[in-house]
């Protein structure tokens, strides 16, 4: 029995470049990973990264089975998703801003368990409109029947996304965890860091909500 293979792979470098360019841009996923590391340390940051990667796998699966077609046929569903995502992210951001003491009380104990951090990261990724825009506008262009089995193409593209997310967000998580050690000895800096991360999340949510509102 012949093993399924891809007949064309040159386009994968272009896909990787596009994925990397999108992931390195500051966004909601990045802010959540940074906040998790700052608040609860390296393991929580890496747990958030795992949640983001899992969310990316869900996006790829949905894209492969045609969710893009559904969203094109029912634009209101996309706008509703934007609003829901904005509200959720705004809630996280306001919680950080109002309780900037959350970072002002950095210590040895975690404010959230690792599974809870993973779950929040997964939900954050699933409600991130940037990912859906990518799945609508870019992902389908790289699924070509003439390149080989579509399912195999989706798996390869999904692995590229997952590895890129793990590399970029993993490095961020480790860096933020290192900054957490410094923040422990600087209470005022901890509060400012909490407010800054909360503000980034709220601003991102407002921008997302504006886009969704204009679409109604």
Which tens digit of pLDDT belongs to each residue from 101-147?
A: 544 444 444 567 889 999 999 988 888 777 777 777 677 777 777 77
- Which distant-in-sequence residues (6+ apart) come within 8 Å of 16 by Cβ? 160, 164
Distances (CA, A) of 103 to 36, 89, 130: 10, 18, 27
Can you tell me the distance from the alpha carbon of 50 to that of 33, in angstroms, rounded to the nearest whole number?
A: 10
Structure tokens, 128:
């991130």
Can you tell me the distance from the alpha carbon of 149 to that of 132, in angstroms, rounded to the nearest whole number?
A: 23
Can you tell me the distance from the alpha carbon of 2 to that of 141, in angstroms, rounded to the nearest whole number?
A: 27
pTM, rounded to two decimals? 0.70
Which tens digit of pLDDT belongs to each residue from 156-199?
A: 999 999 999 999 999 999 988 777 666 665 566 666 666 676 77
């Amino acid at each position: 029995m012949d093993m399924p293979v891809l007949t064309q792979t040159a386009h994968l470098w272009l896909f990787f470049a596009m994925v990397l360019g999108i992931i390195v841009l500051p966004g909601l996923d990045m802010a959540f990973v940074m906040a998790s590391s700052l608040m609860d340390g390296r393991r929580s940051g890496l747990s958030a990264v795992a949640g983001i990667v899992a969310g990316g796998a869900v996006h790829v699966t949905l894209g492969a089975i045609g969710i893009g077609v559904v969203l094109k046929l029912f634009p209101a569903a996309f706008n509703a998703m934007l609003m829901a995502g904005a509200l959720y992210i705004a809630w996280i951001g306001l919680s950080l801003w109002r309780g900037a003491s959350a970072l002002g009380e950095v210590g040895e104990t975690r404010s959230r368990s690792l599974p809870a951090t993973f779950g929040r990261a997964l939900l954050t990724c699933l409600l991130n409109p940037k990912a859906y825009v990518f799945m609508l506008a870019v992902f389908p262009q790289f699924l070509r029947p003439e390149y080989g089995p579509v399912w195999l193409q989706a798996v390869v593209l999904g692995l590229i996304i997952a590895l890129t997310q793990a590399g970029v967000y993993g490095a961020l998580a480790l860096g933020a965890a290192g900054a957490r050690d410094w923040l422990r000895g600087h209470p005022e800096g901890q509060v400012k860091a909490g407010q800054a991360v909360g503000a980034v999340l709220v601003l991102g949510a407002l921008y997302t909500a504006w886009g969704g509102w204009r679409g109604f």
